Amino acid sequence: MKNHKCSYCDYEATQKGRLKQHVSSVHLGIKNHKCNQCDYQASDKGQLRQHIKCVHLKIKNYICSQCDYQAAEKSYLQRHINNVHFGIRKHICSHCGYQAIQKARLEHHINSVHLGIKNINAVIVTMHHH
């Protein structure tokens, strides 16, 4: 049961530690795990490992059967298939009908287009410190 709720968005977690990590990385922009090969920074070790595997080692084991797309994660391949080949965009803006394949992209759209917020992390950090 997910009983730890984010006060900034509708994210819910089963563990308090996961909620803290979510707030820290998503809303406060804290990324303590730095790539030793480029400027990339991640909020956790798993994201950093995935970045190195995908970007620097170029390991992409998941191959689309309908085109040349290759992905490092099964979920990335599924998202590609839904978006490119099936045209599925399940996150719809209630203001204008804009459709996105990822919730984060819809949130960015609403913040930048409808609310005029260009850097949501800066706004939340400012709100958090007052």
pLDDT digits (tens, 9 = 90+) for 71-80: 988 988 998 9
- 2.60.120.260, 2.60.40.10, 3.40.440.10, 3.30.160.60: which CATH number matches 4-56? 3.30.160.60
| 39 alpha-carbon distance from chain centroid | 18
Per-residue confidence (pLDDT) for residue 57, from 0 to 100: 93
The residues with which 92 forms a beta bridge, in sequence order, are: 99
The residues of the chain that CATH labels 3.30.160.60 are 4-56
Per-residue confidence (pLDDT) for residue 128, from 0 to 100: 44
- pLDDT tens string 78-116: 989 988 899 888 888 998 989 888 888 888 888 888 888
Which value, to the nearest 10 degrees, does the dihedral of the CA atoms of residues 11, 40, 56, 72 take? 10
Q: Which whole number is the average pLDDT over 48-54?
A: 90
One-letter amino acid for residue 17 of the chain: G
Per-residue confidence (pLDDT) for residue 72, from 0 to 100: 86
Q: Which of 104, 81, 79, 82 is nearest to 91 (CA)?
A: 104
Higher-confidence position of 121 and 95 = 95
Per-residue confidence (pLDDT) for residue 121, from 0 to 100: 53
One-letter amino acid for residue 108 of the chain: H
Per-residue confidence (pLDDT) for residue 49, from 0 to 100: 92
